Amino acid sequence: MSEIDGKVVAITGAGSGIGEATALLLAERGARLVVGGRRSERLADLVARIEKAGGEAVHLRTDVTRRDDLHALVGLARERFGRLDVLVSNAGVGTISPLDDLRVEEWDHMVDVNIKGVLHGIGAALPVFRAQGGGHFVTTASTAAFRIVPTMAVYAGTKVAVRAICEGLRQEAGDSLRVTTVSPGMIGTEFADASSNPRVRAELSAARDRIAIPPAAVARAIAYAIGQPADVDVNEIVVRPTAQS
């Protein structure tokens, strides 16, 4: 039997892209899913597809900038399935632009979603994992955390912070908690459409159309980490298109 089979996995940002692909793959491998995001209709459709394929899933409207929403998501996992084995903190925004644009509200929003959203997940799941005697944090960072380029200063800053927080968490985790950070490169999702700077948006979309790989590639990496035996902690995975510099 696979290590994924029967696990209860909560995923944020599950309505599209990497989160959606991860939910579908894990459900196919026998995980029970609790999917969160702001677009409830997307989540309801995802749950219907999982159920139609014979899987188990529930959804909850979740805004990761709201601490209570993460407590509710973790609470739903326990209420519905009796426990939570894995929290995939995947929700993220990339409103990428040069600093000179001074899109300061977008900077704030990236900090709120990408950093504080991850912290809210840790705050909600950590006591549950401790009480259960085990659990697994999987967090989506980015290759932007490894290679800083113009227009990505704030976004990269949030993802560097995510890697630092997860490494600190890993060091404090002890012998029963696992911590995995997955850093995707250019993936074929809606992500590239988020920039409100038309030039940056056009460049990102063109790069995506040229080299992006499908979100299922990241889902397989996440499934690999979750699928390891409990004494194997896969900490960092970088998945980028072969053609990405």
Residues 134-173 that bind ligand NAP (CB under 6 A): 140, 142
Alpha carbon of residue 117 to chain centroid: 10
Judged by CB under 6 A, does residue 186 bind ligand NAP? Answer: yes
Closest among 193, 170, 192 to 181, alpha carbons compared: 170
CB of 39 to ligand NAP, least distance (A): 3
CA distance 61 to 139: 19
CB of 131 to ligand NAP, least distance (A): 25
Residue 194 near residue 91 (C-beta atoms within 8 A):
no
Q: Is 98 in a helix, a strand, or coil?
A: coil
In the block, residue with structure tokens 């200063």: 153
Q: Are 87 and 135 in contact (CB under 8 A)?
A: yes
Residue 35 or 126: the one with the smaller Cβ distance to ligand NAP is 35
> Does 93 engage in binding with ligand NAP (CB under 6 A)?
yes
Which residues are marked as active site? 155
User: Considering only residues 45-64, where is the footprint of ligand NAP by CB under 6 A?
Assistant: 62-64
Q: For the CB of residue 96, give the shortest distance to ligand NAP in the complex, in Å.
A: 10
* Bridge pairing between strands 8-11 and 135-140: unpaired
Whether residue 25 contacts residue 220, with contact meaning beta carbons closer than 8 Å, is answered with: yes
Segment near ligand NAP (CB under 6 A), from 72-80, 86-94, 168-176, 222-230? Answer: 86-94
Is 12 a binding residue for ligand NAP by CB under 6 A? The answer is: yes
Backbone angles phi, psi at 56, to 5 degrees: -125, 130
Within 204-223, which residues bind ligand NAP (CB under 6 A)?
215
Residue 121 CA to residue 126 CA, distance in Å, equals 8
Task: Return d(Cα 64, Cα 73) in angstroms, integer.
Answer: 10
Task: Choose the binding region for ligand NAP from 9-17, 120-128, 173-181, 220-228 (rule: CB under 6 A).
Answer: 9-17
H or E element in which residue 61 lies: strand 56-61
The stretch near ligand NAP (CB under 6 A) out of 2-10, 36-44, 167-175, 231-239 is: 36-44
Nearer to ligand NAP among residue 76 and residue 113 (C-beta): 113
Amino acid present at 115:
I
Among 26, 33, 86, 113, the residue binding ligand NAP under the rule CB under 6 A is: 113
Q: What does the binding site for ligand NAP look like in residue numbers (CB under 6 A)?
A: 12-13, 15-19, 37-39, 42, 62-65, 90-94, 113, 140, 142, 184, 186-187, 189-191, 215
